[in-house]
Amino acid sequence: MPYNSVVVGGNKLTVTIGNLKFGPGHPFLIIAGPCVIESWEVLHNTAQALKDISRELGFSLVFKSSFDKANRTSIDSFRGPGLMEGLQMLADIKRNLGLELLSDVHETHQCLAAGEVLDVLQIPAFLCRQTDLIIAAAKTGKAVNIKKGQFVAPHDMKNSVRKVIDSGNNNVFLTERGTTFGYNNLVVDFRSIPMMQELGYPVVFDATHSVQLPGGGGTVSSGQRQYVPTLAKAAIAAGCDGMFMEVHPNPDEAKSDGANQVPITHVKELITQCLKIRQLIQTLPEINLPAQGKCTPVSAQ
């Protein structure tokens, strides 16, 4: 596929994720689950709760949990069970609950095994320019979610998208997760959602990592969980195609990213509000203001 086909004027393509269709004309997508696989109990109970909520509210669900969190603040941080054990646990979730699955890959050698189990291979934000990793993920034939790096301009994500489609895989989407704003802080520029949508692929908003304070706890990352609803609702109003959120039965005891995970008891309420806002937005006509230099002057009377 030629490079110019990356930019298709905002006509978002449909992405296939297992048995789900994601994009225009399809149910809203929620990617949710614990940050990292901690135990079978936490994994299964969270997945079951999310499945029940998705059935009640009518959104498409992709269950997320990482088998390995390689980009930890400290060498002593909990990373998860590892590739093979983690994939086996996720395969059991798929077999028992019938959910589509997403997890991070950090190295090229992980992609083949991950592609046998996962429906989406996620490229972490820090690795969004890592060419060999993106190509290896793309060549599995599974959907690829590339998180926009905290250091990358939205329009420059076209280069990462091209690495996927030039590898023969059109099932790609992007995730906004905030931009570095000084030390230990992130800020969300909601212009990035329509900017990345102009590349022609769906854009997801990561509502929980966007409130993360990277390294803000000294040997761990901190976060401001209380602002998740504000950013999530703003992203819906900005027109995102899906929502990513990490959830946990007891975030204060989570082994990774607890400070920005959503308690499972609050997930239904949060998603309900987001879906109501989306329903309203879809009834409103789009306002297309002319870019600078393209305004039609008002004739003098």
Residue 299 lies in a domain: no
d(CA 32, CA 102): 9
- In this prediction, residue 241 carries a pLDDT of 96
Interior angle at CA 227, CA 286 and CA 152, nearest 5: 65
Instruction: Please check whether residue 158 lies inside any domain of the structure.
Output: yes
Domains held by the chain: number: 1
Over residues 120-137, the mean pLDDT reads 98
Q: Convert the pLDDT of each residue in 200-215 to its tens digit.
A: 999 999 999 999 988 8
Q: What count of other Cβ atoms lies within 10 Å of the Cβ of residue 217? A: 14
Q: Residue range 178-184: average pLDDT?
A: 94
Domain-located, residue 124: yes
Has residue 296 been placed in a domain? no
Arithmetic mean of pLDDT over the chain: 92
pLDDT in tens, 68-83: 988 877 888 889 999 9
Does some domain include residue 300? no
Query: What's the domain range around 233?
Result: 12-283
pLDDT of 300: 52
Q: What is the pTM of this model?
A: 0.93
- Domain-located, residue 274: yes
Q: CATH no. for residue 256?
A: 3.20.20.70
Q: Is it the case that residue 10 has pLDDT exceeding 90?
A: no
Q: Decide if 174 is inside a domain.
A: yes
- 294 within some domain: no
> Would you say residue 4 has pLDDT above 50?
no
